[in-house]
Structure 1
Amino acid sequence: MLVISVLALAGCSSLQVSDGFLGVITPYRIDIVQGNVVTKEQVALIKPGMTRNQVRDAIGSPMLTDMFHADRWDYVFTMKRPGTEPQRRVIVAHFKGDLLDRLEAPDLPSEREFVATIAPLKTPPKPRVLELTDEQRKALPVPARAQAASAPATGPARTYPPLEPS
């Protein structure tokens, strides 16, 4: 019985469910976004000599601050999204005392480029027409005219007794 259990468990570990269960059912995968999105426009606002508070106001709080490297802030951004390439960017701010010495920010995207990587542009939908043109109105069938009501209108015939005695 023990041997059969061990073989069954070993068989379960070899079954791959990364792309789906037996190629039929695909699991739901969530978007994983961690860190600060820093773009070219934000980095353009930062100049050497700015205080820590000014840097924090421009690009946000750092993801990593190390007690052993107090003059270094690390901004890490990672994003894993189904159907797109994983993204990872690291920006390092070096301080001397309370003032920014330098900022290491290799090849950052602009805001437009970043948005394009999040949601690829699809073909734009056709604009919806909310009003008929004159040609479309003329092509509509002419409605039948209601006959003039010469007789007084009568209510529906009752097939049940009245609720209140008369």
Structure 2
Amino acid sequence: MRKFLISIIAVTVLSGCSEFPGVYKIDIPQGNVITQEMVDQLKPGMSGSQVRYVMGTPLVVDTFNGERWDYIYTFKKGGDTRTQEHLSLFFTDGQLTRFSGDYRPSANTEVQ
């Protein structure tokens, strides 16, 4: 009985440490960093290699539709909530035609 009581107390004490205030939690970035400057460089008619030069290798290339590239960036700061940014690029015959997602071109750039 004594061992059982000690083990229950130990489990209770240790479980209380999981949310101990002041414990450092690392920032967790994942995926492709996407900036507005990168999006502003995208122009209709760019080739896939030009887009890769500007944006980097896409995180996801659709297996069934190679004409769509997805760039996803997720960031979780310490114990805060997770933020996610997404950008999808669409190609026709190997040329960039449009994009959609969390970013829009700046007012001083022309994109279809």
Superposition TM-score, scaled by structure 1 size = 0.50
Distance apart, 1:28 and its partner CA: 3.2
Distance 1:97 1:81, change over 3 A: same
Larger Rg: 1
Q: Which residue of 1 aligns with 2:26?
A: 30
Q: Which residue of 2 aligns with 1:19?
A: 19
Superposition TM-score, scaled by structure 2 size = 0.70
Deviations along 1:41-79, one digit per CA (max 9) or x if unpaired, are 111111111100011111111011121121111100011
In the alignment of these two chains, the number of paired residues is 100
If asked which structure has higher relative contact order (CA below 8 Å, sep 6+), I would say 2
Distance apart, 1:86 and its partner CA: 2.9
**C-alpha distance in structure 2 between counterparts of 1:102 and 1:28, whole Å:** 42
**C-alpha distance in structure 2 between counterparts of 1:71 and 1:28, whole Å:** 42
Distance 1:107 1:18, change over 3 A: farther
Q: Which residue of 2 aligns with 1:81?
A: 77
Query: What are the ranges of 5 or more consecutive residues in structure 1 without an aligned counterpart?
Result: 111-166
Query: What are the ranges of 5 or more consecutive residues in structure 2 without an aligned counterpart?
Result: 107-112
Higher fraction of strand: 2
Q: CA RMSD in A?
A: 3.0
Q: Which amino acid aligns with 2:77?
A: R
